[in-house]
Copies of this chain bind each other. A is one copy, B any other.
Amino acid sequence: MPSQVSSEQILFTRGVPAVEALPNKLLSECMQAALEGPDGKTILQYGHNGGYLPLRQLIAEQYQVSPDQVLVGNGSLHLQDIFAGFLLKPGDVVFVEQPSYDRAIKTFRRRGAKVIGIPLDLDGVNLGALEQAIVQYKPVFMYVIPDFQNPAGVTTSAAKRQALVELAERYNFWLVEDVPYRTLRYAGESLPLLRDLNAERVITVSSYSKLISPALRVGYLVGPLPLVKQLTKLAEETILAPVLPTEAAVVEFHRRGYFASNLENLKQLYAPRLRAVVQAIKTYLPDVPFAEPEGGFFVSIMLPPHFNSANLLERAKQAGLMLTDGRDFFADPYSDSEDPRQGERFVRLPFCALTPEQIEEGVKRLASLL
């Protein structure tokens, strides 16, 4: 085994689920039950643009809201595109954590926003920097990933969650919390959602991409009723109608108890991979500080300035290691005058789709390049 790992290319690029964890047999069974059940023809016809009602009911129950407060869309990026298109006009300001999810940054920009990155500490966004930026820029919304953040792996502390909703209330902006990884907790206890602290200021976005399958493209948004009504109308104008068979399969996946057992399988598969990446960093990069997450898909490191990070991606590729450009995760990779090259030195390590052996070999290769 070790000799095999040592010769193969290792992909620390996309945050994708492990292929072996994709429940194709169970989903086949669920699809069959949905298509041959009493709703079999309903889920092939044009449907309500808010999504398949039984799925909206299921999500509504989970979040203790009305089904009309749930919009099911074609993956959460699609929903981000919709609410950004609705809330923003050109020149409006959006805050993101710095670093943040690269595609969200791009989406908000494409919708006309000026995107400002607020430095992310190991326990959530830096509150001093945030309040200063709020006063200066008056954001329309702030986009945060409070649990096992993509890319940094950071979980926002309870105190900072409370501070975020208080700031949103005082300065009148929306908080968008993106929580696709929240359920994938391998240790410790969940902290409250932002919406648990102030449901009127918060739009919650999540999806089944990491919990069942990305190719189902079933994501959802939960928010205040008047807003969700308008977003649902906009969804109809852009994609007309929902993909009902996949949404019905997700409902069936829950009904049969597969969601719970599949989640347990995912945790058992991913937890040792998280331990492997943490251990490998401590072994091969002992000087590098990083947030040690209790769940999710990502650990990330910020290489200290004394490391040689020049042409890192190219040199990594030559060593059989594929990395994502760290600058992509920074709304402004050169914004911090005290540390102007931080984006170049930021390395994200998605660990779920790699074996512990591949992870160790990958971090070792990374360390050897520095």
The verdict on A81 contacting chain B, using a C-beta distance below 8 Å, is yes
Contact of A35 with B24 in the complex, beta carbons under 8 Å: yes
Binds B, one of A37-45, A154-162, A165-173, A299-307: A37-45
Given A103-B240, A217-B241: A41 in contact with B19 (beta carbons within 8 A): yes
Contact of B22 with A27 in the complex, beta carbons under 8 Å: no
**How many residues of A are in contact with the other chain, CB < 8 A?**
47
Contact of A35 with B41 in the complex, beta carbons under 8 Å: no
Bound Cα distance from A28 to B242, whole angstroms: 18
Contact of A45 with B215 in the complex, beta carbons under 8 Å: yes
Please name all residues of chain B whose beta carbon is closer than 8 Å to the beta carbon of A44 when the two chains form the complex. 22-24, 27, 213-216
Contact of B243 with A46 in the complex, beta carbons under 8 Å: no
Binds B, one of A72-80, A188-196, A334-342: A72-80
The verdict on A287 contacting chain B, using a C-beta distance below 8 Å, is no
- Cβ of A53 to closest chain B Cβ, rounded Å: 13
The verdict on A356 contacting chain B, using a C-beta distance below 8 Å, is no
- Cβ of A18 to closest chain B Cβ, rounded Å: 10
Q: Which residues in chain A, 1-25, are within 8 Å of chain B measured between CB atoms?
A: 14, 16-17, 19-20, 22-25
Of all chain B residues, the one with the shortest Cβ separation from A16 is B46
Bound Cα distance from A206 to B149, whole angstroms: 39
Q: Which residues in chain A, 185-224, are within 8 Å of chain B measured between CB atoms?
A: 213-217
The verdict on A255 contacting chain B, using a C-beta distance below 8 Å, is no
The verdict on A239 contacting chain B, using a C-beta distance below 8 Å, is yes
Bound Cα distance from A213 to B24, whole angstroms: 22
The verdict on A282 contacting chain B, using a C-beta distance below 8 Å, is no
Which of B20, B27, B45, B107 contacts A214 (CB under 8 A)? B45
Q: Could you jot down 22 A-B contacts, CB within 8 Å?
A: A19-B41, A22-B44, A23-B44, A24-B36, A25-B36, A27-B44, A27-B245, A28-B31, A44-B213, A44-B215, A45-B214, A74-B239, A75-B240, A103-B237, A110-B237, A215-B242, A215-B244, A215-B245, A217-B240, A217-B241, A245-B245, A245-B246
Bound Cα distance from A41 to B214, whole angstroms: 11
Please name all residues of chain B whose beta carbon is closer than 8 Å to the beta carbon of A106 when the two chains form the complex. 237
Question: Hey, which bits of chain A sit against chain B, CB under 8 A?
Answer: 14, 16-17, 19-20, 22-25, 27-28, 31-32, 35-36, 40-41, 43-47, 74-75, 77-78, 81, 103, 106-107, 110, 213-217, 237-246, 249
Contact of A35 with B45 in the complex, beta carbons under 8 Å: no
- Cβ of A100 to closest chain B Cβ, rounded Å: 16
Please name all residues of chain B whose beta carbon is closer than 8 Å to the beta carbon of A241 when the two chains form the complex. 75, 214-215, 217
| Interface of chain A, main secondary structure | helix
Of all chain B residues, the one with the shortest Cβ separation from A238 is B81
Contact of A16 with B45 in the complex, beta carbons under 8 Å: yes
- Cβ of A81 to closest chain B Cβ, rounded Å: 5
Which of B20, B35, B242 contacts A31 (CB under 8 A)? B35
- Cβ of A39 to closest chain B Cβ, rounded Å: 9
- Cβ of A13 to closest chain B Cβ, rounded Å: 11
Please name all residues of chain B whose beta carbon is closer than 8 Å to the beta carbon of A240 when the two chains form the complex. 75, 77-78, 103, 217
Which of B24, B217, B237 contacts A242 (CB under 8 A)? B217
Contact of B238 with A216 in the complex, beta carbons under 8 Å: no
Please name all residues of chain B whose beta carbon is closer than 8 Å to the beta carbon of A242 when the two chains form the complex. 215, 217
